[in-house]
Amino acid sequence: MNRLFGTFMRRPEAGSILSLIGVVAFFVLIGDVHLGTLMAAASWVNFAANLGIVALPVGLLMIAGEIDISIGAMIPAGSMTTAILSGYYGLPILVGMLGALAVGVLVGLVNGLLTVRTSVPSLIITLGTLVGMQGIVLSASVLLTGNASVAVTAPDWAKFLFGHLIGESHQVIILWWIGLAVIFAFMAHKSRYGNWIFAMGGDKESARNAGIPTARLTITLFVLSATCAAFVGMCQAILFNSAQVSGGMSFIFNVIVSVVVGGVLLTGGFGSVLGIFFGTLTFAVVSQGIYFTHIDRNWSNLIIGVTLLIAVAMNESFRRLALAYSGPKKTQ
pLDDT in tens, 241-256: 999 998 888 899 899 9
DSSP per residue over 106-139, as a string?
Answer: HHHHHHHHHHHHSSS-HHHHHHHHHHHHHHHHHH
Distance CA 133, CA 140 (A): 10
Of 27-31, 67-71, 299-303, 320-324, the least confident? 320-324
Domain boundaries, the chain: 14-330
Strand partners, 154: none
Contact status, residue 49 vs residue 174, Cβ threshold 8 Å: yes
pLDDT in tens, 182-208: 999 999 999 999 999 999 998 889 999
SS3 state of residue 168: coil
Distance CA 254, CA 67 (A): 14
- Considering only residues 77 and 19, tell me which one the structure prediction assigns the higher pLDDT: 77
Q: What's the confidence (pLDDT) of residue 331?
A: 41
Q: What is the 3-state secondary structure (H, E, C) of 268-298?
A: CCCCCHHHHHHHHHHHHHHHHHHHHCCCCHH
Q: What's the burial of 135, exposed, middle or buried (CB within 10 Å: 0-12/13-18/19+)?
A: exposed
pLDDT in tens, 164-176: 888 878 999 999 9
- Considering only residues 243 and 320, tell me which one the structure prediction assigns the higher pLDDT: 243
Q: What's the confidence (pLDDT) of residue 222?
A: 97
SS3 state of residue 172: coil
Q: Count the residues in the chain.
A: 332
Q: pLDDT class for 17, splitting at 50, 70, 90?
A: confident
Please state, rounded to an integer, the average pLDDT across all residues of the chain.
Answer: 88
Please report, as a single letter, which amino acid is at residue 93: I
Alpha carbon 47 to its chain's center:
11
Alpha carbon 200 to its chain's center:
20
CA max distance for the chain = 65
pLDDT in tens, 131-160: 999 999 999 999 999 998 999 999 999 999
- CA-closest candidate to residue 31, choices 211, 264, 296: 296
| H-helix or E-strand spanning residue 149 | strand 149-151
May I ask the CATH class of domain 14-330?
A: mainly alpha
Q: What's the confidence (pLDDT) of residue 40?
A: 72
Q: φ and ψ at 149, to 5 degrees? A: -140, 135
Q: Is the pLDDT of residue 330 over 50?
A: no
Q: What's the confidence (pLDDT) of residue 5?
A: 61
- Considering only residues 314 and 261, tell me which one the structure prediction assigns the higher pLDDT: 261
Q: What's the confidence (pLDDT) of residue 182?
A: 97
CA distances to 13, 91, 299 from 137, in Å:
37, 19, 34
pLDDT in tens, 57-83: 999 999 999 999 999 999 999 999 999
